[in-house]
Amino acid sequence: MIITIDGPAASGKGTLASALSKLYKYAYFDTGMIYRAVGLKAVLEGIDLTDEPKVLEIAKAMTFEKMMALSSHPDFRSDIGGQSASKVSAITSVRAALLKMQQDFALSPVFADGTKAEGVIYDGRDTGTVVCPQADIKLFMVASPEVRAMRRFKEFQAKGIETTYEKVFEDMKARDKRDSERQTAPMKPAVDAIIIDTSDMDPKAEIDYVVSLIESKLK
């Protein structure tokens, strides 16, 4: 079983993916992490994010191990991490260099401890359109920019990351624009994706709804 969950930042992809992964024991691949890893590594090395050859070199050398090591950096999940991920992800050659690593995960999905999983859940922007167009279930999550910015602002506050709601809102708008207008693999629902608006949706109702979709596929 392959499930793809795409959509903009803070639309509820991660929460849903984690819940489904626990429920069905499917491995979960948060594909944004690889773009965050490439972007953050470039920032830490003082590389200009528009310097394609240098960013591409980092992308080609990216591995799961390096990604996990970078994920503990304080800026991995901050606005800096999000914006730098969005900038490097707009480079066509960088996306191409990171595609196989994402696609290969579905061939033999495993959990972090190496145990085999029965299925895989991808979370990203293009996982239903480019990474896994053959997925069994494709979801595209949406929510109003105000709701998403408030969710992200609260997450940052809980993690002790200093910012303001206004800054989070502006950064999110810039990221949405870049992600949906880029030439390669722009963020958009696959033609056969089910669109879920989580703005006013109760998380439990959302999970129940997706579980019913999975159950009917499994039958």
Contact residues toward ligand C5P (CB under 6 A) are 9, 31-32, 35-36, 82, 85-86, 89, 124-127, 175, 179
Distance, CA of 26 to chain centre: 16
Give the other-Cβ count within 10 Å of 218's Cβ.
10
Instruction: Give the residue with the Cβ less far from ligand C5P, 37 or 210.
Output: 37
Q: Which is nearer to ligand C5P, 116 or 159 (CB)?
A: 159
| Nearer Cβ to ligand C5P (126/206) | 126
Query: Whole-angstrom Cα distance, residue 142 to residue 195?
Result: 7
CA 124 from chain centre, in angstroms, equals 3
C-beta of 126: minimal distance to ligand C5P in Å?
5
Instruction: Report in angstroms how near the CB of residue 195 gets to ligand C5P at its nearest.
Output: 17
| Residues 12 and 141 sit within 8 Å (Cβ to Cβ) | yes
Q: Of 109 and 124, which CB lies nearer to ligand C5P in the complex structure? A: 124
Residue of 150, 213, 219 whose CA lies nearest to 16: 213
Strand 194-197 and strand 27-30: the pairing is unpaired
Give the Cβ contact number of residue 158 at 10 Å.
8
The half-sphere exposure of 127 on its side-chain side, counting CA atoms within 13 A, is: 34
Contact 174, 82 (CB under 8 A): no
Instruction: DSSP letter for 198, please.
Output: -
Smallest distance from the beta carbon of 160 to ligand C5P, in angstroms?
Answer: 19
- Min CB(219)–ligand C5P separation in Å: 29
Residue 10 Cβ, how far from ligand C5P at the closest point, in Å? 8
Cβ at position 75, least distance to ligand C5P in Å: 13
Find the largest Cα–Cα distance for the chain: 52
Distance from C-alpha of 40 to C-alpha of 89, rounded to nearest angstrom? 12
Q: Which is nearer to ligand C5P, 57 or 176 (CB)?
A: 176
Q: How far is the CB of 172 from ligand C5P (least distance, A)?
A: 9
